[in-house]
Amino acid sequence: MPHDLVDSPDQAVENILRYQTEVMDEPRLAGRMKQVHVWYAVRSTAETWLFAPSKFVGYAENTASSYLTSAGERDGRRTEAVLRSWFETVKPLMRRATELADALQSFIEAHGFSGPRKNARICVLKGVFARAAGAAPQEIHNRIRIDATICGGRPHIRGTRVRVSDLLDMLADGVSPSEILADYPYLREADLRAALAFGAAASAHRIFRIDRALPD
């Protein structure tokens, strides 16, 4: 039988909220947590993150009973297609990415499991991180320098000889942010965000004035 997809972000959020009580009352629903590829998150009025899986969020007026009895008939590709209109995937270098990952870990551990499946994604409503995106030019200015006497005049992370191009090459080659930070312990996540923002700005032909490094 056909199942109706949600037709508004409000319906999706209602499902995320409903999941919080449904998963407490139905152990079989919690038992499927390790199978979830994509989690959707909203921030509660208590300033905590609430999570629910794609197939629960994407179908209208979902409950534990309907989710469990028709799991084989429901298609995550359909839910993803509709939910991406209102949600975006949290990238590792986005602000609060670590906070969200830790919150999801704690949520799943609270239900007796070790954590989400490997490579599980988290999605949030579009615009949640708009403030962070707006701060990118300032972050570039604070963290990246161009000085003719350092790195041959190429853009580098302030206070180091790590070139922006080297960081972008590593990220493009699939090296994870955590691996880069382990190899360069004097760098911070904000340095990697600044490198990405610089690269994006350069590719869009926008010009940022970056002064010579000043003493702290």
Q: Which two tokens stand for residue 70?
A: 């028709």
* Tokens 């600044």 -> residue: 194
**Residue 205's pLDDT is what?**
42
- The 8-class DSSP code of residue 4 comes to P
**Residue 89's pLDDT is what?**
92
Distance between CA atoms of 189 and 75, rounded to whole angstroms? Answer: 36
**Residue 202's pLDDT is what?**
65
pLDDT in tens, 18-38: 999 999 999 999 998 988 999
Class (C level, CATH) for 135-203: mainly alpha
The full set of domain ranges for the chain reads 9-128, 135-203
* Tokens 């990405």 -> residue: 196
Distance between CA atoms of 136 and 118, rounded to whole angstroms? Answer: 30
Q: Which two tokens stand for residue 150?
A: 């350092």
Where the chain has pLDDT below 70, the residues are 1-3, 71-72, 95, 129-139, 201-216
**Residue 216's pLDDT is what?**
45
**Residue 15's pLDDT is what?**
93
Which residues are within 8 A (CB) of 178 and not within 5 positions of it... i.e. 6 or more apart? 92
